[in-house]
């Protein structure tokens, strides 16, 4: 198993991409601590076997609350005596055209997607620097690379995550630490965030994607596993697109 004995924190780890990352990490031997805003993780009865009580621990948390995040991360470290992997997956979208986008919608997306990633990484990095090793995977987006109509706030947050990824890859190895930092930039993936998109838009996206389909959460989870494992031990500071050949 590729992650045997590893301890991973996954934000947004109760649904969608985060849930599939958690599932695959557990299958590959990791113990996963998931953070999300739901009261309980959204796991169906037939999925319980994939999330055993001794391998999947859930915290309801607002990742922008630095004090709460510090308490949770410290509790995780005291339980496990290490933190091997952080996956910054949590995010929201509040799309609208620039001239009618509400300031509160701009602020909220920046707060959760960008500041939340900053707060989580700042907190976990303290422990990883002590350990002299660690692995951080940030969830960016093709929108953060290419931009997209109606997504000023989302594009700004994801572009910021890309910038932080490259900065952290440099900064967190300054003292000889083996801390790798990479980002995943998905295209359109079939999750709760895309289920409400208009059928015409979905059709357009599929027609303009080389592989003629949307991505699935499992596709992203497999890339996260690669980046979390020793298979990618010489990769850091990279942004890897996984979009089926989307032509924006």
Three-state DSSP string of the chain: CCCCCCEEEEECCCCHHHHHHHHHHHHCCCEEEEEECCCCCCCCHHHHHHCCCCCEEEEECCCCCHHHHHHHHHHHHHHHCCCCEEEECCCCCCCECHHHCCHHHHHHHHHHHHHHHHHHHHHHHHHHHHHCEEEEEEECCCHHHHCCCCEHHHHHHHHHHHHHHHHHHHHCCCCCCEEEEEEEEECCECCCCCCCCCHHHHHHHHHCECCCCCECHHHHHHHHHHHHCHHHCCCCCCEEEECCCECC
pLDDT bracket for residue 248 (50, 70, 90): low
pLDDT bracket for residue 43 (50, 70, 90): confident
The two three-digit tokens of residue 1, written as one number? 């198993």
User: What angle is formed at CA 40 by the lines to CA 37 and CA 42, rounded to 5 degrees?
Assistant: 95
pLDDT bracket for residue 196 (50, 70, 90): low
Mean pLDDT of the chain: 95
> For residues 107 and 92, what is the distance between their CA atoms, to the nearest angstrom?
11
pLDDT tens-place string over residues 45-96? 889 999 999 999 999 999 999 999 999 999 999 999 999 999 999 999 999 9
Query: Any known ligand binding at 157?
Result: yes
**pTM listed for this prediction:** 0.96
Query: Any known ligand binding at 14?
Result: yes
The answer as to whether 174 is a domain residue is yes
The answer as to whether 145 is a domain residue is yes
> For residues 212 and 56, what is the distance between their CA atoms, to the nearest angstrom?
34
Range(s) of the domain holding residue 71 = 7-241
Residues identified as active-site: 154
Query: What is the average per-residue pLDDT within 213-223?
Result: 96
The answer as to whether 246 is a domain residue is no
Assess contact for 161 and 143: CB atoms under 8 A: no
Does residue 146 carry a pLDDT above 70? yes
Number of domains in the chain: 1
Percent of the chain scoring above 90 in pLDDT: 89
The answer as to whether 247 is a domain residue is no
Query: Any known ligand binding at 37?
Result: yes
Query: Any known ligand binding at 12?
Result: yes
The answer as to whether 85 is a domain residue is yes
Query: Any known ligand binding at 15?
Result: yes
CATH number at residue 32: 3.40.50.720
The answer as to whether 237 is a domain residue is yes
- Shortest CA distance to 55 belongs to which of 74, 30, 76? 30
The answer as to whether 186 is a domain residue is yes
Query: Any known ligand binding at 27?
Result: no
């Amino acid at each position: 198993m590729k992650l045997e004995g590893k301890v991973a924190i996954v934000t947004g780890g109760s649904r969608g991409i985060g849930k599939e990352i958690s599932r695959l990490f557990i299958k590959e031997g990791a113990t996963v601590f998931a953070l999300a805003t739901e009261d309980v993780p959204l796991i169906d009865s037939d999925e319980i076997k994939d999330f055993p009580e001794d391998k999947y621990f859930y915290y309801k948390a607002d990742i922008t609350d630095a004090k709460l995040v510090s308490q949770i991360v410290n509790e995780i470290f005291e339980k496990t005596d290490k933190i091997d992997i952080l996956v910054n997956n949590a995010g929201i979208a509040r799309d609208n055209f620039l001239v009618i986008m509400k300031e509160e919608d701009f602020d909220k997306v920046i707060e959760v997607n960008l500041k939340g990633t900053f707060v989580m990484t700042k907190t976990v990095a303290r422990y990883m620097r002590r350990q002299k090793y660690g692995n951080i995977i940030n969830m960016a987006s093709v929108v953060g690379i290419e931009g997209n109509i109606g997504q000023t706030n989302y594009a700004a947050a994801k572009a910021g995550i890309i910038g932080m990824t490259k900065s952290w890859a440099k900064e967190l190895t300054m003292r000889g630490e083996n801390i790798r930092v990479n980002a995943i930039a998905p295209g359109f993936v079939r999750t709760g965030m895309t289920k409400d998109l208009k059928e015409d838009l979905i059709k357009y996206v599929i027609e303009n994607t080389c592989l003629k389909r949307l991505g699935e959460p499992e596709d992203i989870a497999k890339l996260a596993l690669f980046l979390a494992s020793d298979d990618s031990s010489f990769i850091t500071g990279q942004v890897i697109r996984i979009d089926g050949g989307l032509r924006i």
